[in-house]
Structure 1
Amino acid sequence: MSAGPMDVDALVAIDVHTHAEVSEKGGASLSAELDAAAGAYFKAEHRHPTLPEIATYYRERQMACVVFTVDAESATGTPPVPNEEIAEAALQHPDVIVPFAGVDPYKGKAAVRQIRRLVDEYGVRGFKFHPNVQAFHPNDRMAYPLYEAIEDAGAIAVFHTGQTGIGAGAPGGGGIRLKYSNPMDVDDVAADFPGMKIVLAHPSFPWQDEALAVATHKPEVYIDLSGWSPKYFPPQLVRYANSLLQDKVLFGSDFPLLAPDRWLADFAELPIKDEVRPKILKENAARLLGLTGN
């Protein structure tokens, strides 16, 4: 059932970091081992909602959400949830879903063609990279043709940064290596693609200061606050969110691994200035995503 257009003014918040974990055909974006480890790490009680269920969940909360999958097929052998499913769900639920996509940097020219097609045919607004799961350094020149396509399209690149719950606790971390997610790798990307908007996803433990430095130094780099309960945010992250980066910090939950209800309840307890709170919850994301003229 189609819904009406997005009414940004009526939204309580915009969650910029939500995952489509399952395909309507039954496939999952992670192997059973990595999926189980992530669920245990986050103590997630409700997982694997379908795209229509995600739309309903956010509509009930008067929120919009950015939805994407991760394409790490070259590194893991597991096909992603098709980007087209997410894009089509956004067309069916434009009041709540903003479509992003996942692209595999190892797929080269095919990934570049996919980026252009998803933007041109579906209006996809951004692309998610998970360097740990995809097993690549963001500043690897292999990925630069993908960034060129994203920059040319006026789209957004999202990079997982810091430790990941994917594989956490599994033997050898499920083979996932943390070295790939240092935000300083993304600093190179921001320098080489100054016209591309970039989001550093998550508090970037153990590289929080590096993430703050990159976002302060590079004008098109933002930080989303997903994947952590706000009560665990490092003090310097809260301080920068309240001051120098108040226009570049974004609400994100990491749903369904972390529920927005819990995130928002804990965020309410942070000493965030009254004038900054609406920026983080909605206004910064609306401007970044082009949902308003502000």
Structure 2
Amino acid sequence: MIVVRAVEDQPNRGIKKGDEFRLYIVDAHHHMGSEKGHRNTPAGAYDFYASLWLEILKQSKVLKEDDSLLFEPVSVQAPDLATRVFNSRDSWKRLNHGWLVDRTVVFPYTDDYSSPEEPGAPSFKVSNDKIASWTSRAPHSTRLIGFSRVNPLDGGLTAVEELERSVKELGLRGLKLHPLAQLFIDSIEEDASRNVVKRAGELGLPIIFDTRNMKTVVRIKRLVDSMRNDPQCGDALKGLRVIIAHCGMSPGDSRLFEALKDPLIFGETSTLHDRDVPVLFETANERLRNWSEKLLFGTDFSFLSVQALDIIMYMLSRDFPGTLGDAQRILAGNTLSLLKTPFRTSIGSSGTPSEFICRDESRKSQGKLEDTLIELLNKGNWDLGSLDFMIPPEGTWPEPRPISSDGTNGVQQDSYVLTLTSKNKTKECHVWIRRHPGDLLSCVVLSTQGMIQLDTLENASQKLGRVLLRSIADNSITLKTSKEMQSHVLRLLS
């Protein structure tokens, strides 16, 4: 998270000079693997974010002298639980840096492993396996979110089958499509790519399309429109969300904003820099209702580096047409809302949930339970598939509050889902920890499959299934001490 400080009183926003705020950041566009001169790993990503922070500090000094900033960046703060996971092993500690960015959506390059291994095999199979190996195991699973890649031109249902494998077996949570690299720009609307997009929608996966010009954006919009008019795509449309990477590299083009008016289409900011940045935000503010809910921050590392600096600094400047809440939605909230389903694979089984509740006035009980779970990851038979914080329902992201108050920014770091996967890949469960009014702490251990499962990270009772809530209430135990809670949870996971 980046910590920013108000440089002057802002009475119309209830902000005083010196107030500090935490802004959570998610990079929605990041490559890993190897392609010609480009190579990147989790360590490379964290090093990049550390370098980007140094560039932000340099630029901040210049802009502050010019009186251009409304908020100045002052520090970087790591999420507590994630950084404790990194610090739990000596071999992981050296990677515990670069916390300017809290979560990163990663997918393969068109890399050295993308070609099919044999005739009839899918493209990107090995690449997707590599992404999953980084994103679904501790410690990187606290920071990285894996997307798959497929080539719609592989023929038949090959690409669809690889997409399904990536989701169900690997736990990848979205899809990257690159019409230019895979040579289907002119056939985006045809059956090969349409079938992939349709299946991604049915699986509830966000799709990020690489776009280098408006012609590609227009074709993507026509594809979405054609699916909307096709009764066979009804189920797909319920889960379909399309992200236009780079905003078609045309941030002021009217056709971009016609596409973004579609409730299923969003824009992503990577490659935009210098004058592109104010053009995008000012035009979005003029032409789009709820404009800040339509844009996602991304870096496109390692193809690009410090261009992301321009996006971040503009959102802290006097020229930005929105509030800190608008900036927080763009920097993280919109991406997290598109990724609102917890990590899971097909190895989970159905079962009855178990809830344990205890009072935790000092929050020490939660800390002790977390320490127990981290120790379990290091010494037990479980690995960490993902750490997913609870978020507000879509469209309700709040304005960040000063750190002197409670420092909230919408990302609920004291309420989250840990997906635990057995190291022999035979079991999977969600450990769902939440804070409640009255200083109550709850821990629910539940299956990742079946009717009684947690299928959203939106922390609101109306978003959670009635069957799930009823089953949890029927299997809830109130305990006197945190030690009892630790004991019950360990017994279930043993």
TM-score interval for Structure 1 and Structure 2 normalised by the shorter chain: 0.7 to 0.9
**Is 1:66 the equivalent of 2:113?**
no
Q: For this pair of structures, how many residues does the alignment match?
A: 245
**1:188 — aligned with what?**
222
Structure 2 unaligned runs (5+)? Answer: 1-21, 50-96, 116-122, 228-235, 341-387, 394-494
Shift of 1:272: 3.5
Tell me, yes or no, if the aligned pair for 1:70 and 1:101 is still in contact at 8 Å: no
**1:87 — aligned with what?**
132
Provide closer, same or farther for how the CA distance between residues 84 and 20 of structure 1 changes in structure 2, counting only shifts above 3 A. Answer: same
Tell me, yes or no, if the aligned pair for 2:268 and 2:295 is still in contact at 8 Å: yes
**Is 1:19 the equivalent of 2:19?**
no
**1:133 — aligned with what?**
181
**1:51 — aligned with what?**
42
TM-score (norm 1): 0.73
TM-score (norm 2): 0.45
Q: 2:300 aligns with which of 254, 257, 269?
A: 254
CA distance in 1, matches of 2:294, 2:143: 22
**Is 1:268 the equivalent of 2:316?**
yes
Q: 1:114 aligns with which of 162, 168, 177?
A: 162
**Greater helix proportion:** 1
CA distance in 1, matches of 2:305, 2:24: 15
Per-residue CA deviation, residues 101-137 of structure 1 (Å, 9 max, x unaligned), is 1111111311111100111112211111111121113
Shift of 1:70: 4.4
Provide closer, same or farther for how the CA distance between residues 127 and 94 of structure 1 changes in structure 2, counting only shifts above 3 A. Answer: same
Letter in 2 for 1:240: A
Structure 1 unaligned runs (5+)? Answer: 1-9, 23-27, 36-46, 164-178
Provide closer, same or farther for how the CA distance between residues 230 and 276 of structure 1 changes in structure 2, counting only shifts above 3 A. Answer: farther
Shift of 1:50: 2.0
Deviates more, 1:267-276 or 1:221-230: 267-276
CA distance in 1, matches of 2:300, 2:193: 24
3-state SS, counterpart of residue 159 of structure 1: strand
State, as a whole percentage, how many aligned pairs show the same letter: 21
Shift of 1:98: 0.7
Which structure exhibits the higher relative contact order, with contacts defined as CA atoms closer than 8 Å and separated by 6 or more residues?
A: 1
Letter in 2 for 1:258: L
Provide closer, same or farther for how the CA distance between residues 104 and 278 of structure 1 changes in structure 2, counting only shifts above 3 A. Answer: same
Per-residue CA deviation, residues 183-230 of structure 1 (Å, 9 max, x unaligned), is 1111122221533110011132348321211111x2111111112225
3-state SS, counterpart of residue 147 of structure 2: strand
Letter in 2 for 1:15: D
Larger gyration radius, structure 1 or structure 2: 2
**Greater strand proportion:** 2
CA distance in 1, matches of 2:278, 2:184: 27
**Is 1:202 the equivalent of 2:246?**
yes
Letter in 1 for 2:158: A
**1:100 — aligned with what?**
147
CA distance in 2, matches of 1:122, 1:152: 17
3-state SS, counterpart of residue 256 of structure 1: coil
Tell me, yes or no, if the aligned pair for 2:267 and 2:294 is still in contact at 8 Å: yes
Tell me, yes or no, if the aligned pair for 1:70 and 1:128 is still in contact at 8 Å: no
CA distance in 2, matches of 1:147, 1:238: 31
Tell me, yes or no, if the aligned pair for 1:229 and 1:266 is still in contact at 8 Å: no
Tell me, yes or no, if the aligned pair for 1:241 and 1:249 is still in contact at 8 Å: no
Letter in 1 for 2:297: F
CA distance in 2, matches of 1:105, 1:88: 24
RMSD: 2.9
